[in-house]
Amino acid sequence: MTTFESTIRQINYPQQNVYNKLSDLSNLQALKERYELMKDTMPEEARQQAEKIKDMTFNSDSLSVNVPPVGSIRLRIVDRDEPKCIKFESEQSPIPFNFWIQLLPVTATTSKMKLTIKAELNMFIKQMVKKPLQEGIEKIADVLQMIQY
C-alpha cells in the first residue's frame, strides 16, 4: 500500500461546520456554481487546472468526475466519523484507492485538515503516478481550504 498525504491545512471555521459541508457531497453544487460565476476572474493557471476537470456529478454520498488523461473516477463515502473523518473508496478508477479527510479542532472557531490517499501500486505504476498524485492531493487541499464553511 502506498500512502500520499497532504500537508496539514489550517481552516478558519469550526470542525463541525467543515464536517457538515464535506460529509454531504451535494453541497458541492454551490461550489460548482460559484466556480462558473468566477472562472473569468481567476488567475490563468488556476482556471486551466480547474478546466481539466470534466463532467463532475455528485449526490450526497458519491462523486464522479472525468480527469484527462486519467479518465473517469467515481468515489463513494463509505464511512462518516462525525466530526473527525470522512472516508471514501473508489468505485470506478484506473487505480483502486481509498481517500479520507481528517478534521481536528484547533480552537472553537478553527480547525485543521489533512487528506490521505492509499493505493495499491506496483513499482512501475508508483513511479509514474507518485508526483501527479502528490500534486493532486495538495491541489484538492488548496480548494478545500478556500471553501467558506
pLDDT (tens, 9 = 90+) of the chain, 149 residues, equals 899 999 999 999 999 999 999 999 988 777 766 666 666 676 676 666 556 666 778 899 998 887 776 778 899 999 999 999 999 999 988 888 999 999 999 999 999 999 999 998 888 888 888 888 888 888 889 888 888 88
* CB-based contact 133:48 (threshold 8 Å): no
Amino acid at site 114: K
CA distance 73 to 103: 24
What is the identity of the amino acid at 99? F
Cα 123–chain centre separation:
25
pLDDT of residue 66: 79
Residue type, 14: P
Q: Where are the alpha helices (DSSP H) in 26-117?
A: 28-38, 44-51
- Asked if residues 117 and 98 have their Cβ atoms less than 8 Å apart, the reply is yes
Distance CA 104, CA 141 (A): 15
